[in-house]
A = this chain, B = another copy of it.
Amino acid sequence: MFSNVHIVLVNTSHPGNIGSTARAMKTMGFKKLLLVNPKEFPSSQSDALAVGCVDVLKKAKVFSNLSDAVAGANINIGLSARTRKASIPILSVDECVNYVLLNKNLKCNIIFGNESSGLSNSDLLKCDYMVSIPTYKDYSSLNLSAAVQLITYEFYKNTKTHISSSKKPITHATAKEKNYFIDTLITLMKETKFISVKNSKSLTKKIHILFNKTNLETDEVNMLLGMLNSIHKKLNK
């Protein structure tokens, strides 16, 4: 049903949560699961909790790092409770669902972090947007599969009433294309000494944030790469 949307679990500690997630997904019509560095998978505990959903687990793809998992997607959306420190754009759950449903031609990852620690800051920098599920102020400890259940439910609920819009389809760049440009830019900025050992961390972060929020199209990435290439040639004449 949601063939362009992947649910991504990062550094999951408890295999039971992977099984519960598969069940939560399937009740709302989601079948594509990516696992980044799970502590234990496949596992009998996952299978036991994936009542009637072992097919989702069998087709799940396992990656050793998040960069590889996000590379093929056009939009990467990370779930996080820590929106106060957010340095990437925040979407409400409704905004997130509408955005993805309006752009069915785009491949989208919805990314959930570890049970205790969530997504790390460096994981979040691989995301174009951040979403936070509203929870009660005194106790916000959502179970991992419960979080997946809530997000997939919102998708399913909204699909039922969603009217396809006439917005023109956008050929979003993939994360791989975008990150290649960012890496090339950073290399050049080291060459020009704009980036030094001292400021490297903060500038690298700022550059990622700037170009993540831009919704770059493939054509635009190519134009930006052409600019960098022209500078490179001129410098090495």
Contacts and interface: CB of A to CB of B under 8 A. Distances in A.
B149 A136 contact: no
A201 interface: no
Contact of A24 (B83, B146, B206, B220): B146
A206 B194 contact: no
Nearest to A229: B194
Contact-residue size bin, chain A (C-beta under 8 Å from the other chain): 35 or more
A167 interface: yes
Contacts of A224: 210
Given A149-B149, A166-B90, A189-B230, A28 B141 contact: no
Interface in A153-184: 153, 156-157, 160, 164, 166-168
B90 A167 contact: yes
A134 B146 contact: no
A54 to B, nearest CB: 12
Interface string A193-237: 110000000010011001001111001100110110111011100
Contacts of A134: 153, 156-157, 160, 164
A136 B215 CA distance: 31
Contact of A27 (B140, B207, B216): B140
A83 B146 contact: no
Contact of A28 (B135, B191, B219, B230): B135
A6 interface: no
Contacts of A86: 166, 168
20 contacts: A23-B141, A26-B139, A28-B136, A52-B139, A84-B168, A90-B166, A92-B164, A93-B157, A132-B166, A134-B157, A135-B156, A145-B146, A149-B149, A189-B230, A191-B234, A192-B233, A193-B230, A194-B230, A210-B224, A231-B235
Interface of A: 1, 20, 23-24, 26-29, 51-53, 83-84, 86, 90, 92-93, 132-136, 138-143, 145-146, 149-150, 153, 156-157, 160, 164, 166-168, 185, 188-189, 191-194, 203, 206-207, 210, 213-216, 219-220, 223-224, 226-227, 229-231, 233-235
